[in-house]
Amino acid sequence: MTEALNRQALTSLLRRSELRRLLEVFNDGDEETRIVGGAVRNALLGRSVTEVDCTTTMLPDAIMERARRAGFKAVPTGIEHGTITVIVDGEPFEITTLREDVETDGRHAVVHFGRDFVRDAKRRDFTINALSLGIDGQLYDYTGGEADLAARRVRFIGEARIRIREDYLRIMRFFRFHAEYAQGEPDAEGLAASGAERQGLTILSKERIRHELLKLLAAKRAEETIRTLADHGFLTGLLDGVAELGRFERVAADDRDNPVATWRLAALAVMVGEDAERLREQLRLSNDEHRKLAAYAGLLSLLKTRTLPLEAGAIRRLVADHEPEVLGIVLAATAGEPFPVVHDEAREAIARYRNGTEPVPVFPLRGADLVEGGVPKGPMIGEMLAQARQAWLAEGCRTDASYAQELLERMLQQV
């Protein structure tokens, strides 16, 4: 099935004032600069274009000099690879000199700068990423990318196995782009080549794997693509463990309007606390990502051993100790499972806490309150606060001033 592409969006893209100024400066004389890659692809699909990359016949030093003469700020963000970030009225654009691969080892490429747009396009990974747009509005397609985009198909340029051997991360990108842009089954040649070359993933850095996997988990068709990865034997190796596909799909359905890759990873691959520790090492997770996975594991363990049904009061007590977001994710992941049993009023309550319409209850006593009441500073303060907190949780997490005063007086009576 093919779908019409939005050619008018290309015209609108070229009318952006900052981008137009940039292209007018860098298309002069014998030099040519075009918009390339994701901006062209997304515009044709009618999606928003937030970042614009360009490719040019100019060498990096010449880019820097021309930007300076035009009054633009130029930052050599990747000058060794031919990339300069040029800032026009506060908007950044990456401009990269045309390149040709000289040598590849599956992780990195040695390139020479060139002036041939065709060779530069054919060194890229997928046909839909090789489209370029000239200042005059002409769309250049040397690899069949326009037809593949209309067919919602992700296809390697040239022979798939050769493209993959140039950079094994392209296996992950193949599945990620399929999840984001394609319909139907993955391209047969690309899928077969990815399976044949999967061992190459082991030579890549864990950080690069993590980056692509998290993007894939948040993509539009993440559920179907993750199942494909599982069916073809990729997923166990990527996670170094088993996957819980049902929980992942339920969380993906719950957060579809605002996907959070870390929570989806938790639902997919975390069953116990040890899983969070393993994934921190396996994927080189950030401290915040690991914290979320550990919080998910802890709350999952707590709720799976709970035999009493969850009602609104129990949710109030839970959000006093656990972030509403992680509680909502665990309940979404385990929906339909025997435990925990969740009443409708509990689901309505957690929704209110997650969207902020009901504030999370805050324990009303402080150590200073006990000191002012005559309790000497020392270990007793912490012990009494812990005791008071347990009473507060058991009594419904009230936050009114009268209750706070009554709870304080109860604690002081023990001294």
Assess whether 292 and 401 both reside in one domain. no
Q: Count of CB atoms within 10 A of residue 13's CB?
A: 20
Domain stop point among 155, 171, 194? 155
Per the CB < 8 A criterion, the answer to whether 370 and 354 are in contact is no
Assess whether 372 and 305 both reside in one domain. no
Assess whether 340 and 398 both reside in one domain. no
Burial class of residue 91 in the structure, from the number of CB atoms within 10 Å of its CB (0-12 exposed, 13-18 middle, 19+ buried): middle
Assess whether 116 and 43 both reside in one domain. yes
Assess whether 94 and 76 both reside in one domain. yes
Assess whether 345 and 309 both reside in one domain. yes
Assess whether 134 and 252 both reside in one domain. no
Residue 267 within a domain: yes
What is the token pair recorded at 6?
Answer: 């939005």
Give pLDDT tens digits along the chain (415 positions). Answer: 567 899 999 999 999 999 999 999 999 889 999 999 999 999 999 999 999 999 999 999 999 999 999 999 999 998 888 999 999 999 999 999 999 866 666 666 667 899 999 999 999 999 999 999 999 999 999 999 999 999 999 999 999 999 999 999 999 999 999 999 999 999 999 999 999 999 999 999 999 999 999 999 999 999 999 999 999 999 999 999 999 999 999 999 999 999 999 999 999 999 999 999 999 999 999 999 999 999 999 999 999 999 999 999 999 999 999 999 999 999 999 999 999 999 999 999 999 999 999 999 999 999 999 999 999 999 999 999 999 999 999 999 999 999 999 999 999 998 7
Q: Which residues pair with 109 in a beta bridge?
A: 104
Domain count, the chain: 3
Residue 79 within a domain: yes
Q: Give the range of the structural domain holding residue 372, as residue numbers without chain letter.
A: 367-413
Assess whether 266 and 378 both reside in one domain. no
Q: What is the CA radius of gyration of the chain?
A: 28
Assess whether 23 and 142 both reside in one domain. yes
Assess whether 344 and 386 both reside in one domain. no
Residue 168 within a domain: no
Residue 103 within a domain: yes
